[in-house]
Chains A and B, each alone.
Chain A
């Protein structure tokens, strides 16, 4: 079992490296932007994978909570002049509390209900958060200017933005931190156990309710990191995060439940795919379809394979 997952991991990374090399020769800019954007997708997808894998709930409000995070970062920047990257720390804890509150008020009540009720519930929460943001901040886009966000560098004749490399760094950092948490800490091991078999975990004395609460809060909190790093480069408006819900789910569907490294790999693959489509003149508008196309294809292949077994 250990060996198979080890090989699989390497196969994924090898394919990724091969794709990246080919793209880097063919369209160097698409490769760089693809990796940068793909890392951001992975950074946002990782917490969703955590809730889906451990708590077993598809949180349709994921992207809207990300938007809310960007607004909180914006408020910090406007009212206290705090640098968006520094405000990640307070926003992380604020969103953690928000996640805990949402969990305590609503999610905990539908844990035993069917998938349908869970989806409808988070769908309702997503609408509330989205419309609330529209009422409070209107749909007018806002932005926070920091001078380092537009820095760029030239390597081998290719000029590209350097700020976005931070996405890559943070995606790797969050992935490694999550892996360490799951393997090295007591709570992390409990989380891992609950993700594998909630009933078994309960029987051996793990407080599953607390694990769920913590994981849900943590997932929302990680969105604060993504929000903080996005604000210098993205315009802030209520539906800025909505598209990321589906994209994150695409990554989870592609990587498979419980495969956190796979999220980063799929994120980069899809990011590069999007960047390639965007680099073809006249077809930039079609790039949105890359994710959905892959999502539908992957889900179909998985379901067919399951049926043949």
Chain B
């Protein structure tokens, strides 16, 4: 039993790496989108594991995108450096803001992160000279010059690193600290867990990931635009994906991203407008009826069956 899991993982990994050699360009672009949202979903879920609900995903995504494009257009750096700068800017901003807003809890933290995303957008829209204002900014040298296979491998790398970070968070002592904060903050505090330090650490790591993904996304197409770079899309979809797959786990976000990513392509074909309604419905239904997500529900059913077999 124990050897099956690593082998299965290797097969999935090999298939993921080989994908560009097996399929055509359209599917590769779908896969890039899925990886982008999968990474965002994971980063959102990683923050959620501390018990803090963040609505700032789209904010740091857009910030990273803008930082990357501005670095590439005005400083003339190559796209990869631009992506690193995107991540760094998101990280520095989240560190400074995090020191203040991570003193907040629950509802207040969630709403403040939501306000932050809007603040970023207003600032960017008004800094005409640097950001291009409401009409956005364009850069000519895109990531790998529109070579979608290379973009795919790059994005796969980012996603894999995020998965590894997420697993590290789950398996090391950080996991115990995070889980104890979520379960009962006061108890965690009285056992000597430095909550504040861990919260800031997780907040900065997840924001860097969001910034990197944002910069990758922006540089892949070579433009940013206030309304689309900070779109609620980059907040809503990752949340829906993590919820569908099952929150508080790495595999949940991954499965959720694949399920929703593929089905959204299909939905776009059958209903070009308003397919976001389905995401809203998914969020509502999952919150009401499947609090553990699809993966969690399957696990529950399997666990139930196993227990019944054992009882016999």
Contacts and interface: CB of A to CB of B under 8 A. Distances in A.
Interface string B113-145: 011101100110110000000000000000000
Interface stretch (A124-132, A168-176, A199-207, A266-274): A124-132
Interface string B7-28: 0000000000000000000000
A304 B100 CA distance: 9
The secondary-structure label for the interface of chain A is helix
Contacts of B281: 124, 128
The secondary-structure label for the interface of chain B is helix
Contact of B283 (A127, A246, A296): A127
Contacts of B291: 113, 117
B110 interface: yes
B6 interface: no
A303 B104 CA distance: 6
Given A128-B280, A134-B273, A299 B104 contact: yes
Nearest to A121: B287
A289 B119 contact: yes
Contacts of A109: 288
A124 B284 contact: yes
- Scoring A113, A127, A135 by chain B CB atoms within 10 A of each residue's CB, the highest score goes to A127
B287 A124 contact: yes
A96 to B, nearest CB: 21
Contact of A300 (B101, B125, B280, B283): B101
B126 A124 contact: no
Given A115-B53, A127-B279, A303-B108, A120 B243 contact: yes
B111 interface: yes
A163 interface: no
A153 B194 CA distance: 61
Contacts of A116: 48, 51, 53, 106, 110
B283 A124 contact: yes
Given A110-B287, A127-B280, A292 B122 contact: yes
B287 A288 contact: no
Interface residues of A, number: 38
A121 B283 contact: yes
Contacts of B239: 120, 123
Contact of B277 (A135, A303, A304): A135
A227 to B, nearest CB: 21
A249 interface: yes
Contact of B103 (A123, A289, A295, A303): A303
A285 interface: yes
A299 B116 CA distance: 13
Given A115-B106, A135-B273, A128 B284 contact: yes
B230 to A, nearest CB: 13
B188 to A, nearest CB: 16
B108 A125 contact: no
B159 to A, nearest CB: 24
A58 interface: yes
Contacts of A285: 122, 125-126
Contacts of B77: none
- Scoring B114, B125, B243 by chain A CB atoms within 10 A of each residue's CB, the highest score goes to B114
B284 A121 contact: yes
B1 interface: no
Interface in A122-157: 123-128, 131-132, 134-135
A124 B280 contact: yes
Lowest 5 CB-CB distances: which A-B pairs, in order? A124-B283, A127-B280, A128-B280, A135-B274, A124-B284
11 contacts: A113-B291, A119-B107, A124-B279, A124-B282, A124-B287, A127-B280, A134-B273, A250-B115, A285-B122, A288-B118, A295-B111
